[in-house]
Amino acid sequence: MSTTKLDKKSFQRAVEDGKTLIVDFWASWCGPCMSFAPVFDEASKKHEDIIFGKVNTEEEQELAGGLGIRSIPTLMVFREQVLLFNQAGSLSPSQLEELITQIKALDMTKVHSEIAEEQKKKADEQPAQST
């Protein structure tokens, strides 16, 4: 599978789909982005079970800003609507493969359980609202 160009609407749909989604935030003037592009493209051909998306930060400034993208390239990985990885900087082919292996191996039931526990803990720490 090749990479998919994402915009604000298609990005949201891709995350909500719940499948594993790896997103490369890039710009045409960014040297490291251009160096990372072939690595990202090659991984997309190897892992057809993963959606590989690209967001051009020049064209999608609102999306990039809303996600807090401060430097590029930035890589984000979502699975079952959970952000699992968010890091600026390019990865080598072996680093990207290792990341993909780790993402695939995650026990998402455990991840969702840990998120629920954190949310409950935060809710319990909130002071009672008086009406």
Q: Which two tokens stand for residue 93?
A: 């082919």
Please report, as a single letter, which amino acid is at residue 82: V
In sequence order, what are the beta bridge partners of 82? 79
- 15 catalytic? Reply is no
- 33 catalytic? Reply is yes
Task: Please name which of 4, 14, 121 lies closest in space to residue 67, comparing C-alpha atoms.
Answer: 14
Residue 115 to residue 87: CA distance in whole angstroms:
20
Locate all alpha helices (DSSP H) within 1-131, ordered by sequence.
Answer: 8-17, 31-46, 61-66, 93-105, 108-125
Q: What is the enclosing helix (H) or strand (E) of 4?
A: strand 4-5
Residue 63 to residue 59: CA distance in whole angstroms:
9
Active-site entry in 22, 23, 30, 69: 30
Active-site entry in 6, 15, 21, 33: 33
- Known catalytic residues are 30, 33
